[in-house]
Structure 1
Amino acid sequence: MDQKAKKTALRGISYGLYIVGTKDDKGVVNGFTGNWLTQTSFEPPLVALAVKAGTRSQEQIAKAGVFSVNILETGKKDMATAFFKSVEPDGNKLAGYEFYTEETGCPIFNDALSFFECKVVDKIEKGDHFIYVGEVINAGVHREGDPMTLKETGFYYGG
């Protein structure tokens, strides 16, 4: 296989950027920047989320069986990059961004355009990621706006 062609072709897949909220079995919250997410069913409403195997967030989703997805607004590159590394809660803030919780106990960020919360209904372990299928059990909109995409940041995933 031509490795350069493979990289170019895979980087042609469009991605959004999201802050995925998690929690452990003691209720301690966490968040990470995710971009591999897609809706897989209308009824019931299901999404598929890929999470790198062996990470704190992946282990929390595996144990708690829930996660939140916060839709970032275009221009929020600083927020996305803040969650590239491990973060610890400081009151009602993660990486300096305020959050609150609802049904799942996972963080919902005030700065997000919108959010949804999921309970895990299935998982697939392949390669270096887990794919979690989550049923959307709660959702909300903070304000209207355009969602951020990976392309606008200059970051690449794939290849």
Structure 2
Amino acid sequence: MDPQAKKTALRGITYGLYLIGTKDASTVNAFAGNWLTQTSFDPPLVALAVKAGTRSQEQIKASGVFSVNILASGQKEMATAFFKHVEPEGNRLAGYEFYTTEITGCPIFKDALSYFECKVVEAVERGDHYIYVGEVIGAGVHREGEPLTLRETGFYYGG
């Protein structure tokens, strides 16, 4: 296989860029993620890939829940703040205000366009990631707008 052709072809897959909220018994967390897709309408299911061995992956494994925050076009700075380890400071992560609901207890960011909360119904470990299938059990809309895409940021994931 031509490595450059593989890289170019895989970079042609379109992605959004989201903030994924996680939690465990003692704290909350969030990370920027882009491997997310809806897999079923009824019940509403999504598949999320999370790098194996990370704090976030371990929290999803332990709690069985996660949230997905849809960022707006232009929120690249907010997304990139979650490319590294963050710790909560009150109701803020990386300086961005969040709240939780009784549904999952995972962070929901006030600046996000919308969000949904999931309970894990299946987990698969393949390669260097876990794939979590989550059933959407809660959702909300903060405001209207166009979602942030990876292409807009100039970042590439794939290859």
Q: TM-score, normalised by structure 2?
A: 0.99
Question: Which residue of structure 2 lines up, in the alignment, with residue 125 of structure 1?
Answer: 125
Q: Distance in 2 between matches of 1:25 and 1:109?
A: 20
Q: Distance in 2 between matches of 1:34 and 1:138?
A: 19
Question: Which residue of structure 1 lines up, in the alignment, with residue 68 of structure 2?
Answer: 69
Q: Distance in 2 between matches of 1:143 and 1:80?
A: 18
Equivalent residues in 2 for 1:90-129, closer than 5 Å: 90-102=89-101, 103-129=103-129
1:79 and 2:78 aligned? yes
* 1:99 Cα deviation from its structure 2 partner: 0.2
Structure 1 stretches of 5 or more lacking a match? none
1:134 and 2:126 aligned? no
AA of the residue aligned to 1:49: L
| Structure 1 ranges of 4+ moved more than 4 A | none
* 1:64 Cα deviation from its structure 2 partner: 0.3
Q: RMSD of aligned C-alpha atoms? A: 0.4
Percent identical: 78
* 1:115 Cα deviation from its structure 2 partner: 0.0
AA of the residue aligned to 2:89: D
Deviations 1:54-98, CA, capped at 9 Å, x for gaps: 000000000000000000000000001000000000000000000
Q: Distance in 1 between matches of 2:153 and 2:37?
A: 20
